[in-house]
Amino acid sequence: MMLPLRPHWARTVTVARVVALAAAAVLLVGVQMGGLGRWRLFGVYPDLLVVAVCSAALQRGPWAGVGAAFVFGLLADIAGGHLVGLSVLCYAAAALVAGPLGLRAFPERWIVTSSAVALGTAASQLAYVLGAKAFGYDLAFWQAGPRIIGALVLYHWLLTPPTFLLIRSLLDMIWPRRLDA
């Protein structure tokens, strides 16, 4: 499928919107690393940022998701990541997997949202392991990957309703939809 390379929002970037997006990113990274890091469920820590990126991609298309992936991933990696930049690629992979679903189906339906989050989570984890392997870190994906992805998907489904609504409000505030055709 050909993805549109000229997103509408790229022509409407303003300083205020960039600052608003950066503030949202700081807040989400703070919640992820400072708060959710204490709430291990099903043996894993959640990745709120993947859910946020998938939500953005579902609502505004894959390239909006890639934009969110860049901001969230880079900030998160600089704040405490190991391979700085790898999270950007992982979140971008999640956005590119989740986004097309939003273009083909009504993104507000639970089955669409949950499928997008599940596929995005799996894509981001796979991308992370492959990326780490490319830089010499042989993470044991086959021993633990399926279990981690399964547990993460369950956890992310719990986080999806509030995150989806939050991202929708944020996007409506930062980049309002055009009402004309």
Partner 1 sequence: MRGRAYAAAAGFLVLVLVSVMFATSQPRERVSWLEAAVRDGLTPLFLAFNRIAETAAGVWDTAVSLKSALEENRRLQEEVEALRREVARLEEFERENAVLRRAMNLPEAAPVPVIYAEVIARPLNNWWGVVTINKGSRHGVAPQMPVVAPEGAVGYVRTTSSFTSEVILLVDPRSAVGAIVQRTGQPVLVEGMGYPGTALRLRPLTASVDVTVGDVIVTSSLSSLFPKGIPIGVVEQVEIGDFGLSVDVIVRPFVDFGALEFVSVLATRGAGEAAEAAGGAEAP
Q: Build a one-symbol-per-residue string for 58-77: x at contacts with partner 1 by CB under 8 A, - elsewhere.
A: ------------x----xxx
Query: Which one, 44 or 118, has the nearer CB to partner 1?
Result: 44
Query: Which one, 47 or 107, has the nearer CB to partner 1?
Result: 47
Amino acid letter, residue 12: T
The closest alpha carbon to 102, from 90, 91, 88, 116, belongs to 116
Record the tokens describing residue 117, joined without a space: 């989050």
Among positions 152-181, residues that touch partner 1 (CB under 8 A) are 152
Q: How far is the CB of 58 from partner 1 (least distance, A)?
A: 21
Measured CA to CA, the distance from residue 130 to residue 180 in angstroms comes to 42
Cα 26-161-78 angle, rounded to 5 deg: 20
Cα 104-146-126 angle, rounded to 5 deg: 60
Q: Which residues bind partner 1 (CB under 8 A)?
A: 5-6, 10, 26-27, 29-40, 43-45, 47, 49, 70, 75-89, 125, 128-129, 131-132, 135-141, 143-145, 148, 152
